[in-house]
Structure 1
């Protein structure tokens, strides 16, 4: 199975892909703001890189790096975060250029990210949290707003999207049919406080839409701004025996703003 992927997400801008019928009517207003390449930008594509923050496994470093057209996140069973009950290898934010030139998602704005991900069968769903994408307020100790997670439900491996603030499940599907292949992700968020927010989550396996779920009237804002995170962030409290040395690949990351 090849782990190289080229070309933009197939149906990324081709149809009614907004958060609501009003958004869909203005699909042409999605403006691309971010289009890094792993080979050209490397880790400079991101605002920050959280690679073994506790220096727990120097022999495994770097855990996060660009390889060909992909960004790769390695996770070993011995890796530990600064909180030693969990593991974290993540990148944050959408950087354009250098310095403080990164995109800021603020209240009232609507943003979209599309990308492809390769989840090997070694990266399994767990009984406790395993997040592979988060939306968070920047800063130490801040709570997640949205999480895309690999979770065991009644013994079944699934991938899901939840609104973490109010513990709202947006969508969920079986993970095992998506292992060891490239899956396209289209995630959209209106940043809104209280009931002013919206999200849409689409997963495609080739030409097949596996998930297309939306929630409106939800809380997607805490304070300051919303910042995306990608990588592997998982608890060591799994009781299913699913924690293995593993990795995650991402490619074709794109960011759009509805303007």
Structure 2
């Protein structure tokens, strides 16, 4: 991970007053407190759970999720299948702080995740879903709350953030300029039911802000808690011929709570 990129990413954390859900003139200014800063030396122990070929469809390809230098690498082969055989999934979930504990994101809380991602040109946007980050309620069979996805729109490859429950696209930008380069992600979420939630999504590339979009008054909670997921989760229903062997690199994770 480039030290300059770390500096640029860290510099964004000073603007707490601009965070979603913050009062304009608080009696005591809230601030972002670092709660999670995993190292690749912890391997996959940085996460609450790991979903690496849970259907055992391609044992020869394991590990599909592993560390590679300062990065976590997710490798997807076209032969890989999830337990639902119309899709593929290699993902990690949650923010583990020790072998016996992990962070719980609960209603009324505001969280911020920053990290860097490298999307090679082999990982393309598709006509059906390709998610590389999700916010979900833990457990099987639950819908995602928020998704960061690679989606083809009128034939154009894009990356978007969508509030899945309300079918609201928070923001969308072209994917092609972000291929084969490191992009910094800054994602903020206020967890709330009904209209008490909010999100903000920022992408930066080479110090330039590519997109900065927010949405307030939205539903960001289902039940129990919210748990983030990262990796490659995609449908096999793509009609653009974009599915191929690919990978995703993620680095320099930081998790903050607004307190």
Interval containing the TM-score (normalised by the shorter chain): over 0.9
Cα deviation digits, residues 82-113 of structure 1 (max 9, x gap): 000000000000000112x0000011110010
The 2-side partners of 1:10 and 1:204 are apart by 12
Worse-superposed segment, 144-153 or 26-35: 26-35
1:52 aligned to 2:53?
yes
CA gap 1:102/1:21 in 2 versus in 1, 3 angstroms: closer
The 1-side partners of 2:115 and 2:2 are apart by 10
The 2-side partners of 1:121 and 1:84 are apart by 25
The 1-side partners of 2:147 and 2:22 are apart by 25
**Match for residue 237 of structure 2?**
237
CA contact (8 A) 1:129 1:150 kept: yes
Report the alpha carbon displacement of residue 11 of structure 1 after superposing the two structures with TM: 2.9
TM-score, normalising length: structure 2 = 0.95
The 1-side partners of 2:187 and 2:48 are apart by 19
Report the alpha carbon displacement of residue 41 of structure 1 after superposing the two structures with TM: 1.2
Report the alpha carbon displacement of residue 42 of structure 1 after superposing the two structures with TM: 1.0
What is the DSSP-based 3-state SS (H/G/I as helix, E as strand, rest coil) of the residue aligned with 2:51? Answer: strand
**Match for residue 29 of structure 1?**
31
**Match for residue 167 of structure 2?**
167
What is the DSSP-based 3-state SS (H/G/I as helix, E as strand, rest coil) of the residue aligned with 1:41? Answer: helix
CA contact (8 A) 2:57 2:80 kept: yes
**Match for residue 127 of structure 1?**
127
Report the alpha carbon displacement of residue 67 of structure 1 after superposing the two structures with TM: 1.2
Worse-superposed segment, 237-246 or 26-35: 26-35
1:71 aligned to 2:91?
no
Report the alpha carbon displacement of residue 10 of structure 1 after superposing the two structures with TM: 4.4
The 1-side partners of 2:116 and 2:141 are apart by 29
**Match for residue 98 of structure 1?**
99
CA gap 1:24/1:88 in 2 versus in 1, 3 angstroms: farther
What is the DSSP-based 3-state SS (H/G/I as helix, E as strand, rest coil) of the residue aligned with 1:96? Answer: strand
The 2-side partners of 1:43 and 1:13 are apart by 26
**Match for residue 42 of structure 2?**
41
Structure 2 counterparts to residues 54-203 of structure 1, below 5 A: 54-99=55-100, 101-203=101-203
The 2-side partners of 1:115 and 1:18 are apart by 17
CA contact (8 A) 2:162 2:169 kept: yes
What is the DSSP-based 3-state SS (H/G/I as helix, E as strand, rest coil) of the residue aligned with 1:161? Answer: strand
Q: CA RMSD in A?
A: 1.5
The 1-side partners of 2:58 and 2:143 are apart by 26
CA gap 1:212/1:24 in 2 versus in 1, 3 angstroms: farther
TM-score, normalising length: structure 1 = 0.95
What is the DSSP-based 3-state SS (H/G/I as helix, E as strand, rest coil) of the residue aligned with 1:237? Answer: coil
The 2-side partners of 1:24 and 1:169 are apart by 30
CA contact (8 A) 2:21 2:190 kept: no
The 1-side partners of 2:235 and 2:59 are apart by 20
CA gap 1:183/1:113 in 2 versus in 1, 3 angstroms: same
CA contact (8 A) 1:18 1:27 kept: no
CA gap 1:164/1:255 in 2 versus in 1, 3 angstroms: same
1:19 aligned to 2:20?
yes
What is the DSSP-based 3-state SS (H/G/I as helix, E as strand, rest coil) of the residue aligned with 1:148? Answer: strand
CA gap 1:214/1:191 in 2 versus in 1, 3 angstroms: same
Structure 1 residue runs of 4 or more that deviate by more than 3 Å after TM superposition: 23-28
What is the DSSP-based 3-state SS (H/G/I as helix, E as strand, rest coil) of the residue aligned with 1:12? Answer: helix
CA contact (8 A) 1:5 1:182 kept: no
